[in-house]
Amino acid sequence: MELSSYISVDCVIFGYDGEKLNVLLVKRTLSEESNHLNFEPDWTLTGNHVYQDETIETAANRILFEITGLSDIFLEQFKTFADPQRLLKPKDQNWLKSIGRNPAIRVATIGFFALVATQKVALKWMGREVKWVPVKEVGTLGFDHNQILEEALIAIRQKMKHEPIGFELLPSKFTLTQLQNVYEQIFDAELDKRNFRRKVSRMKYVIPLNEKQKGVPHKPARLYMFSREVFDITNQELFDFIV
């Protein structure tokens, strides 16, 4: 059995709240009976072991559903972390023991990223403490999760340049300013409003609605929707989302 490993998935759940890009973290604590280890709770990405006979995609969706109550979230595998040294810190070893794992066995984890509009997620208590944290304010995480988060950011930036996934972070009806802000946040760059709008107007799958914002203390903006159908049809002309 010496060649075998545990397999887990870690989901980097990105959420956009209209202002900043956030990531969903869960508090890592030990069970009651392991408390003699005086384990200082800390925060980690959302992850879990893959069940017997379960695909990694199913496992990732399961985690997402358990934590956000949502299914059909945009989710994609981006990298696997399998360094035999990755969970050798005493804290991680203690944690592994506390959940009944053999801490000498490697844990290979497949990293997924997920995109969601934070308003869609009701963070109710599901047995674990959970919070949104702005990506730029994330401190030191448990396990090797800072590294996984970094790689996830690289992956979504790369992906976002060439595929229309910014919409996944917005409600189904959104304004162009909100869309622009998503790109500005993720690329950490400022975009020109007129140029951005001209570019979007060329994307036939961003569809203007006959509907406006309500209750805002300024000129209400027109709402738009994203049509994946139209995109799939017209995507021969693969737009660049490069900023």
Residue 176 interacts with which of DNA, a second copy, none, CB < 5 to 8 Å by class: DNA
Cβ pair 56, 110 in contact under 8 A? yes
Residues 64-103 that bind a second copy (CB under 8 A): 77, 79-80, 82-84
Any bridge partners for residue 105, and if so which? none
Residue in 216, 228, 233, 235 binding DNA, rule: CB under 7 A:
216
DSSP letter for each residue of 131-168? EEEEGGG--PPSTTHHHHHHHHHHHHHHHHHHS--GGG
Residue 176 host element (H or E): helix 176-187
Question: Looking at beta carbons only, is 20 or 197 nearer to DNA?
Answer: 197
**How many residues touch a second copy (CB under 8 A)?**
31
- Say whether residue 127 binds DNA (CB under 7 A): no
- Say whether residue 236 binds DNA (CB under 7 A): no
**How many residues touch DNA (CB under 7 A)?**
22
Nearest by Cα to 213 from 166, 177, 182, 167: 177
Question: Looking at beta carbons only, is 159 or 199 nearer to DNA?
Answer: 199
Any bridge partners for residue 221, and if so which? none
Q: Which stretch binds DNA (CB under 7 A): 2-10, 89-97, 134-142, 196-204?
A: 196-204
Q: Which stretch binds DNA (CB under 7 A): 3-11, 19-27, 160-168, 190-198?
A: 190-198
* Cβ atoms < 10 Å from Cβ of 184: 15
CA distance 212 to 112: 35
Residue in 35, 55, 71, 201 binding a second copy, rule: CB under 8 A:
55
Q: How far is the CB of 132 from DNA (least distance, A)?
A: 21
- Say whether residue 215 binds DNA (CB under 7 A): yes
What long-range pairs does 209-216 form, CB within 8 A, spacing at least 24? 209/173, 211/173, 213/175
- Say whether residue 160 binds a second copy (CB under 8 A): no
3-state secondary structure of 87: coil
Residue 87 interacts with which of a second copy, DNA, none, CB < 5 to 8 Å by class: none
Question: Per-residue string for binding with DNA, 158-177, x by CB under 7 A?
Answer: -----------------xxx
Question: Looking at beta carbons only, is 137 or 190 nearer to DNA?
Answer: 190
Nearest by Cα to 10 from 150, 174, 122: 150
Cβ pair 25, 141 in contact under 8 A? yes
Residue 40 interacts with which of a second copy, DNA, none, CB < 5 to 8 Å by class: none
C-alpha distance across the termini of the chain, in Å:
50
Q: How far is the CB of 233 from a second copy (least distance, A)?
A: 20
Binding site for DNA (CB under 7 A): 175-177, 192-195, 197-199, 202, 212, 214-222, 240
